[in-house]
Structure 1
Amino acid sequence: MADQRRSQRPSGDGPRRGGRPSGGKPQSGGKPASSRGGKPAQARDGKPGQSRGGKPAGKGAPPRRGGKPPARSGPREQAPRSAEQAVYDGPDLPADITGAELDRAVSAQLKGLPEKLANRVARHMVAAGMLVDDDPETAYQHTLAARARAPRIAVVREATGEAAYAAGHYAEALAELRAAKRMNGATAYLPIMADCHRALGKPQEALKLAKSPGVANFGPEAKAEMTIVEAGARRDLGQLDAALRTLELAPLQSKSRSSWVVRLRYAYADTLEAAGREQDALAWFHRTHAIDSDELTDAAERAELLEKHQG
């Protein structure tokens, strides 16, 4: 996963709901005619309003006398962009983004594209990676522009799915990540896909993904993320005891101070509180805070609130 496309992981107490203005539903994997050569589509020979032979459109149109075009009364007004063209153009690209910033493993997957087209796609993906944390909606629009140009490249669909997820467009994120998975067979997207199902009110679908065969081969971080989502789905269904059992099977006592351990402990403390076990929840919020040096969670504040409530 490229550093420029930092994925937004599922939250411990529920799916990440952006609440940001929608960027519109992306096209379902299709590409506009303009994506073939990296240029906007034009009428047949490149001049709007003319036939193939370059003559004025319309049957029996008289020739112009003197061979000179008629004088224009004023500057030609540009037609407003269609919604599809606006998506294809994407947000403005900063001049200092060259595309060379893209991770080599990602840029290698763009090699099959024409050079200029590959560069434009790379620049949009770099911009998306830079913005995804602070302005996920604009990041999403950048990935849509990349996808409009290269819809058959898995890493582009992956980036679009991750940005859609960060921006709170869960149905679109699910569709894009499914497309990427069909293209490359990767299972790394399963935790985010499962969390999208939760956000869409389908916890049972999330549980199905949590039981996918590929999950057994996950590394510790990805497995922890799927465990958090699975427990959250159980909570969605009102199954608090099952949610606690799911988390208790995870390495809560790990000596690692990695972010996935922090999030795992936080999810457990939060579920304990939801189950009415406030004393146990307090202890686990303290254990979470003890290793949360980057302040990824509000464990300290949650512990303080519980202490006040119990006092």
Structure 2
Amino acid sequence: MPEDRRGQRASRGGSAGRGGAGRGGDAGGRGAKPAGRGSREERGGSRGGGRDSKAAPGARRGDFRARSGEDRGPRSAEQAAYDGPDLPEEITGRELDRSIAAQLKGLPEKLAARVARHLAAAGMLIDEDPETAYQHTLAARARAPRLAVVREASGEAAYAAGHYAEALAELRAAKRMNGATDYLPIMADCHRALGNPEQAIKLAKSPSVSNFAAEAKAEMTLVESGARRDMGQLDAALRTLELAPLTSKSRAAWVVRLRYAYADTLEAAGRETDALAWFHRTHAVDSDQITDAAERAEQIERRLG
């Protein structure tokens, strides 16, 4: 598996990764008025649809046609985003983690239910159809723009769908709202994807990283080493990885990914013999076959003869 700028890729640890079917959602927004919901006149005219008894003298009745849904034309992009994708009937919103659902309780009941359904749908789709998952989070955000949990879900879904500028903006907003630092690896990876590796490294050096759990530290290490590679600093990338627990006896995915990144960087640096050894070490703990370490090792063995 070639080195991936996203894919030394920070895992999604927040709400869109905890919603429906065991995953959840976050979002947020700016303003009490939902996007695309203008006044009645903006949505297609007055209630009378043109039947105005005070019309100017001489106006013909034909000038005041009732405005049916067909006459209004296609919905605007803002209105479409507010509506969001269709919600399958089987998604009720009860799929969300309790911690996520609890953060929606301040909303009116019907509004909370609709937001919950969009977040649950996003959580279910984020791996197989991240773009549609993102559209669900935008619909949730349009309805509940001031909830950090909604803004977080929107950021995570945007990241999964490859909308890195939007993901960065959403996660920054979530961080301002709740002060959480869980998003830092994803935010750093967004900087990488946007061509700003220096900013990724700056986030990797944040004091809060030292308090991360092992998996989150590994995610930040992967992003930092990738940023170093983006800048052509292969030796620095190797040193960054060598400070991580590469020899951990754990078979957790984060250990597999650390070893793989180290082997891949060794190969990029021209150290094929060392890379071969670490691809084998990666394969030894990769019980779920999340990498192609075995194939990479075979390729090197063929080259070395």
Q: What TM bracket, shorter-length normalisation? A: 0.7 to 0.9
Aligned partner letter, 1:43: R
**Does the 8 Å CA contact 1:107/1:122 hold for their aligned counterparts?**
yes
CA distance in 2, matches of 1:73, 1:159: 37
Aligned partner letter, 1:56: D
Residue number in structure 2 paired with 1:236: 230
Query: Structure 2 length normalisation: TM-score?
Result: 0.84
Residue number in structure 1 paired with 2:170: 176
Greater shift, 277-286 or 75-84, is seen at: 75-84
Residue number in structure 2 paired with 1:15: 6
- Following superposition, the deviation at residue 43 of structure 1 comes to 1.6
- Following superposition, the deviation at residue 72 of structure 1 comes to 7.1
Q: Does 1:113 align with 2:107?
A: yes
- Following superposition, the deviation at residue 14 of structure 1 comes to 1.9
- Following superposition, the deviation at residue 63 of structure 1 comes to 11
Residue number in structure 1 paired with 2:245: 251
Relative to structure 1, the CA distance from residue 239 to residue 130 in structure 2 (aligned partners, 3 Å threshold; closer, same or farther) is: same
- Following superposition, the deviation at residue 61 of structure 1 comes to 6.3
Residue number in structure 2 paired with 1:8: none
Aligned partner letter, 2:52: P
- Following superposition, the deviation at residue 41 of structure 1 comes to 4.2
CA distance in 1, matches of 2:193, 2:65: 59
CA distance in 1, matches of 2:67, 2:135: 38
Aligned partner letter, 1:252: L
Relative to structure 1, the CA distance from residue 88 to residue 17 in structure 2 (aligned partners, 3 Å threshold; closer, same or farther) is: farther
1:49-88 aligned at under 5 Å gives the runs 49=46, 56=52, 60=56, 77-88=71-82
1:207-218 aligned at under 5 Å gives the runs 207-218=201-212
CA distance in 1, matches of 2:261, 2:8: 17
CA distance in 2, matches of 1:162, 1:64: 55
Gaps of 5+ in 2: 10-27
- Following superposition, the deviation at residue 223 of structure 1 comes to 0.3
**Does the 8 Å CA contact 1:13/1:270 hold for their aligned counterparts?**
no
Deviations 1:111-145 (A, max 9, x none): 11111111111111111111111111111111111
CA distance in 2, matches of 1:34, 1:209: 33
Q: Does 1:224 align with 2:218?
A: yes
**Does the 8 Å CA contact 2:8/2:222 hold for their aligned counterparts?**
no
- Following superposition, the deviation at residue 13 of structure 1 comes to 3.9
- Following superposition, the deviation at residue 34 of structure 1 comes to 3.9
Q: Higher relative contact order at CA 8 Å, sep ≥6: structure 1 or structure 2?
A: 2
Structure 1 residue ranges, 4+ long, deviating more than 2 angstroms after superposition:
28-35, 39-42, 46-51, 54-65, 70-79
CA distance in 1, matches of 2:293, 2:143: 43
**Does the 8 Å CA contact 1:124/1:143 hold for their aligned counterparts?**
yes
- Following superposition, the deviation at residue 94 of structure 1 comes to 0.4
Aligned partner letter, 1:272: L
What's the % identity of the aligned pairs? 71
Deviations 1:186-233 (A, max 9, x none): 000000000100001100000100011110100000000000111111
Query: Structure 1 length normalisation: TM-score?
Result: 0.83
Q: CA RMSD in A?
A: 3.1
CA distance in 1, matches of 2:270, 2:254: 25
Residue number in structure 1 paired with 2:30: 30
CA distance in 1, matches of 2:248, 2:300: 24
CA distance in 2, matches of 1:73, 1:232: 56
Deviations 1:139-161 (A, max 9, x none): 11111111111111001111111
Residue number in structure 2 paired with 1:308: 302
Residue number in structure 2 paired with 1:187: 181
Q: Does 1:48 align with 2:45?
A: yes
